Structure 1
Amino acid sequence: MTEAFQAGGLPDKRQVAASFSRAAESYDSVAALQRSVGQQLLAQLPATISSARWLDLGCGTGYFSRALGERFPTSQGVAMDIAEGMLRHAQPLGGAQQFIAGDAERLPLREASCDLLFSSLALQWCANFQAVLSEAERVLCPGGVLAFSSLCVGTLQELRDSWQAVDGFVHVNRFRRFEDYQRLCDQTGLQLLSLQRQAEVLHYPDLRSLTHELKALGAHNLNPGRPGGLTGRARMRALLDAYEQFRQPQGLPATYQVVYGLLRKEQ
């Protein structure tokens, strides 16, 4: 799967920005997975890292901007997101000195201006991950670290398979293959410290609970080619029946394939 294919398969960034802006007020109430993944990413930061200036890229409501501010209390923090609604929510809560609207593929920052780029569950929305890595290499200081988490193929596979049993439309967000993350990280000028994939499985009492959470996160179906209009009652019944086949004692599973990456710019 090439980046060109992904560029045609991932949603328009304006739609992503608008969707997450609308979700700013509801996001934190349903973001348990996002907080767990971000905490794991924080724990993976090299113990020796010191940061005079850090960037929380895709900061959302600023939860990890505040965590980074606590971890590096004497540093200067920049919180950046493509969704201005998220920034308006995050800024009054503090954590960073600057809150900037920006795109990970075209960072509005000077060369060699950051010691740490931290990005948790945001880069899956970028069609050109090679550009993300190039921009990280450009803005990192020598010895600086890029720490990211993202999502790859296999995420929400149960929901995807259930819809596949109902119709041929795209109802679930597409994600990059883990092998593409490996290839692109290997090709960058940054030193790859670690890259791993980890499955996180959440459970829900019913399908409505899952779809409500995705909407509250702003992460419901944003794919080009998604079906418009309302879902018919018969098709919804078929979807419910298909998803029930995945039910476990804990509830209906929703699997997230999480990618964790650490890269360093050469001294």
Structure 2
Amino acid sequence: MTDLNSANLANHLPDKRQVAVSFSRAASSYDRVAELQRAVGHELIARLPADFVPERWLDLGCGTGYFSRALNEHFVDSQGLALDIAQGMLSYARPLGGAQHFIAGDAECLPLQDSSCDLIFSSLALQWCADFNAVLSEAHRVLRPGGVLAFSSLCVGTLGELRDSWRAVDGQVHVNRFRELETYQRVCADSHLKVLGLQIQPHVLHYPQVRQLTHELKALGAHNLNPGRPEGLTTRARIQKLVGAYEQFRQPLGLPATYQVVYGILEKTR
């Protein structure tokens, strides 16, 4: 897969308006199927620098507010902000609390003052941003000196089993595209933030049948949103071909779905 960066990136990632609508629709079903999201977010919290206690934190791409509430419990004397591009997610999260303020906004253009946060925490949200340079630039602007950006995101190889199975059916785009690890490495290294850690870790979930995976992706709002995706309903014959193709990956625990998760810890030194 080619490096999704610069000029061709906007042609490969979903329109942010579609992302916002999709996740807004999924707000009420999201937490019921968010096993991966919870595991990754808790892993990201565990990767924060030891003894780091922010005065004010931002949950960037807060979704249902699960990690806003977790951060509020983890940093009991800190003030929290929760931000998401999906109004439906904010409407769901706000009554559950966790943050002092819930804000509609875009990671590439944060509606926050300069040097206003000590921690920006973003778990499995930044893969939807076309301009990762802008994300890091905004993080640098909003963080105070000594502040930390902690993020998890997805890279190439995610849902590779599903992608390869669909290729055996029709060769069309059925699975969301993500950046290469090398792009994350390069953009982070070129930013004004100091890289304290940047690693990739695969997370593998298992399903009895393909339909459980595809239903879960829809319930999360993370089904295929990319340009070039097939339009219209998928026929029974094509679904049967997909099921047959995916069977080659079956393991004793079931059908694997691999997520290639990038964990980044960056610091604003000045």
Q: TM-score, normalized by length of structure 2?
A: 0.98
**Aligned residue pair count:** 267
Q: 1:193 is matched by which residue type in structure 2?
A: L
Tell me how far 1:168 sits from its aligned partner.
2.1
Please state how far the C-alpha of 1:223 moved relative to its aligned partner: 0.4
Aligned-residue RMSD, C-alpha: 0.7
- Matches of residues 117-136 of structure 1 in structure 2 within 5 Å? 117-136=120-139
Match of 1:84 among 84, 87, 94: 87
Counterparts of 1:68-79 in structure 2, within 5 Å, are 68-79=71-82
Please state whether the residue corresponding to 1:70 is helix, strand or coil.
Answer: helix
User: What is the CA-CA distance between 1:48 and the residue it aligns to?
Assistant: 2.5
Q: Structure 1, residues 118-172: CA drift from partner, whole Å, max 9, x if none?
A: 0000000001101000000000000000000000000000000001111121000
**What residue is the counterpart of 2:204 in the other structure?**
201
1:15 is matched with: 18
- 1:171 and 2:174 equivalent? yes
Q: Where does the alignment leave 5 or more consecutive residues of structure 1 unmatched?
A: none
Which deviations, in whole Å up to 9, do the C-alpha atoms of 1:159-204 show, x marking residues without a partner? 0000111112100000000010000000000000000000010000
Tell me the equivalent position of 1:222: 225
Q: Deviations over 1:54-111 (max 9, x none)?
A: 0000000001001111111221110000001000010111000000000000000011
Alignment of 1:1-267 (within 5 A): 1=3, 2-267=5-270
Q: Which whole-Å CA distance do the structure 1 matches of 2:118 and 2:165 have between them?
A: 44
Aligned partners of 2:45 and 2:120: how far apart in 1? Answer: 11
C-alpha contact 1:82 1:103 (8 A) present in aligned 2: yes
Q: Percent identity?
A: 73
TM (normalized to structure 1)?
0.99
Three-state SS of the structure 2 residue aligned to 1:195 is strand
Cα deviation, 1:36-60, whole Å, max 9, x if unaligned, reads 0000000011112121110000000
- Equivalent AA in structure 2 for residue 249 of structure 1: P
Deviations 1:215-260 (A, max 9, x none): 0000000001111101112111111110011111110000000000
Gap regions ≥5 residues in structure 2:
none
User: In 1, Cα distance between the equivalents of 2:166 and 2:14?
Assistant: 19
Q: Which amino acid aligns with 1:173?
A: N
Partners of 1:7 and 1:26 lie apart in 2 by: 29
Query: Is the partner of 2:206 in helix, strand or coil?
Result: strand
Q: Which amino acid aligns with 2:71?
A: L
Match of 1:118, SS? strand
Q: State the alpha-carbon separation in 2 of the partners of residues 110 and 265 from structure 1.
A: 16
* SS of structure 2 residue aligned to 1:16: helix
Q: Which runs of 4+ in 1 moved over 6 A?
A: none
CA contact (8 A) 1:163 1:239 kept: yes
Give 3-state SS (helix, strand or coil) of 2:249's partner. Answer: coil
